[in-house]
Structure 1
Amino acid sequence: MLKLSNECFNKVSYLLKNEARDLEKYLYEYHFQGGSSKNIIKELKKYQNDDGGFGKALESDFRQPDSSPMATSIGIRILSEIEETEDTKNIIKSACKYFELTFNEKRSGWYALNKEVNKYPHAPWWHYDVEKGMTVIDKNWGNPSAEILAYLYKYRNYTNLLDINYLIEYAIKYIEDKKVFESDNELFCYIKLFEILPEDIKSQLKNRISCGISQVIEYNRENWKDYVPLPLDFVSSPEKEKFGVINSKINENLDYYVELIEGNEGSLINPPWGDSYYQGSLKPAYNEWKGVLTLKILKRLDNYNRIER
């Protein structure tokens, strides 16, 4: 069992705090140094629009300034993982109102983005197909609809225009009817929903999520340098539901992350999907992803007590 050395941890921490976005810097301080949530909240407010939704490149791969359900789900995800204060409640309440306004009845959910995204720099997977009326991401209903439902269920006191219980039933039926799983991101969204639901409803989701993970997870370490769903993507900490993910592969993934960081002491972790998409005005997104991914890996190593400190 490998552990990230204290020396290496300090080096990568220095890089993260000096090269990442301010948001990731403050999140690092909160999770590792007892930093205040006030800095995170202050920074997140910069990404929130007057309609309550989030935009302004909170999700680095599309630089659309106006709000989108996808960016807003990321904003609430961050807020849901820090201490609850009056400020967080107010931000989340506004975001829930945005979700109510952008709900699409025919879809019984949300589209990730609208056509306005095409006016701004964006990665090809976020391009809005006008003929189809959606991005390629929207091929799978659960991303981001299942994750949005998780937050609307958790903060249901802030919503009154949507029948959340009906939508939970819809989400369950959707995944029960699904035979072939292609999107790991859709499963990540369903895991968020699973984690927030009461035990009797969780039982309706567990087997289907496990089935989906078994179809998409990459267990071959030789392929982990590529953009593939790794064991820790589904089981980010030891107290989480494992959904049948093999324990030995979780440990192997942790060893891999230790070696990855130790082998990149001079830089933050590069996105495994490469930098070829990040040209011109989209170029800043690549460096932003370095901070996001490095912080994610450090948090997972810490969750499993794999950092010497």
Structure 2
Amino acid sequence: MKLTKQNFEKARGFILANARMIERRLFDFHFNGGSANGVFHAVYAYRNNDGGFGYGMEPDTASPESQPLFSIMALETLDEVGYLNAELIRNDFMPYFESITTEKGGIPWMFRPKSEYPCGEHFKTVKEWAALSTTSSLLGILEKYKINIPWMKKAEQFVWAEIERIQEKHVFCHLCTPRRLQFLQHTKNRKKAAEAMSNLKNWIVADGVLFKDPSDDGWGLYGKPHSLNYAPYPDHILNPIFSKETIESDLEGLLNKQKTDGRWDTWYGISEGTKLEWAGIQTLWTLKVLKSYGSIEN
């Protein structure tokens, strides 16, 4: 079963008519051979003078204030299109991250907004302490690009301590897991990484983690993950923990989730406009997954 040409065109039309510029540029990069430079400029539209990224890089807030998570998202997006290099990371990103590092050595997930802008309720009560997901992702990227700076030593101690403390508690969050993987795949401590990777794989395949009802509106969204949330392309490090039948079943489930206007939907959004932005994000993600598994008609 594959996405038909007609349904691909519907998805394309939905993205071009409704998604943010960043998703439109990413679509152009992944499906039209577009420029990574265009993605760079779309990402940097969210950048502040302090080097952090704000302005709703995640559509649940319209606040311009810099946020650690948004800055991580910016790094990850530039990495996705091959635009990152050591010099850019050192000069454009690390001054901000070093300025928000906590005494424990990690960086927070989010800060509570200090200005009056529309935002989701969960932003108003966020815990501002250091977080595993953001810190591990940043460390993994630094290791990937062969960067060695003093900041990393205490940050790595924090990440290992958090992995031991949290263990399986974040496995249901398919947005947190790849950030932990980023660190485990690139850290120099291969012995500890192998043990942590083995544990992570066992936790993911444990009963109750994968959500197996594609008819549920939340299937594949936050807290209700399927196999493709963890293995979004065939040569992903987590792909072997899922059977071929599971992957194929979830691909079929994804295909059946497409709406008549071409979108794949979410329940996220603080307004009708941001719901469309989230749908643009989800639609692009789905198209990338389907493409990687050869599930789009030529």
Deviations 1:269-290 (A, max 9, x none): 221x355xx24xxx43211101
Q: Percent identity?
A: 21
How far, CA to CA, are the matches of 1:287 and 1:104 in structure 2?
35
Bigger shift: residues 216-225 or 186-195: 216-225
Is the CA contact (8 Å cut-off) linking 2:204 and 2:210 kept in structure 1?
no
1:249 corresponding residue in structure 2: 246
CA shift for structure 1 position 174: 2.4
Aligned residue runs from structure 1 range 1-309, under 5 A? 2-84=1-83, 89-90=87-88, 93-106=91-104, 108-116=105-113, 119-128=116-125, 134=127, 141-155=131-145, 157=147, 160-162=149-151, 164-182=152-170, 183-184=172-173, 185-197=175-187, 200-201=190-191, 202-215=193-206, 217-222=209-214, 224-226=216-218, 227=221, 228-242=224-238, 244-261=241-258, 264-271=259-266, 273=267, 278-279=270-271, 283-309=272-298
Q: What SS class does the counterpart of residue 35 from structure 1 fall into?
A: coil
1:232 to 1:90, Cα distance in 2 relative to 1, 3 A:
same
TM-score by length of 1: 0.83
How far, CA to CA, are the matches of 1:257 and 1:118 in structure 2?
38
Question: In proportion to residue count, which structure has more helix?
Answer: 1
CA shift for structure 1 position 246: 3.6
1:178 to 1:44, Cα distance in 2 relative to 1, 3 A:
closer
The amino acid of 2:132's aligned partner reads: G
Bigger shift: residues 54-63 or 91-100: 91-100
Q: What SS class does the counterpart of residue 42 from structure 1 fall into?
A: helix
Is the CA contact (8 Å cut-off) linking 2:78 and 2:84 kept in structure 1?
no
CA shift for structure 1 position 99: 0.9
User: How many residues align structurally?
Assistant: 289
Deviations 1:206-264 (A, max 9, x none): 11221332356324124653131121111111101127234322221111111222xx1
Is the CA contact (8 Å cut-off) linking 1:224 and 1:230 kept in structure 2?
no
1:89 to 1:288, Cα distance in 2 relative to 1, 3 A:
farther
Q: What SS class does the counterpart of residue 82 from structure 2 fall into?
A: coil
How far, CA to CA, are the matches of 2:242 and 2:56 in structure 1?
33
Where in structure 1 do 4 or more consecutive aligned residues deviate above 4 Å? none
TM-score by length of 2: 0.86
Is the CA contact (8 Å cut-off) linking 1:12 and 1:265 kept in structure 2?
no
Residue segments in structure 2 that go unaligned for 5+ positions in a row: none
CA shift for structure 1 position 166: 4.5
Is the CA contact (8 Å cut-off) linking 1:172 and 1:205 kept in structure 2?
no
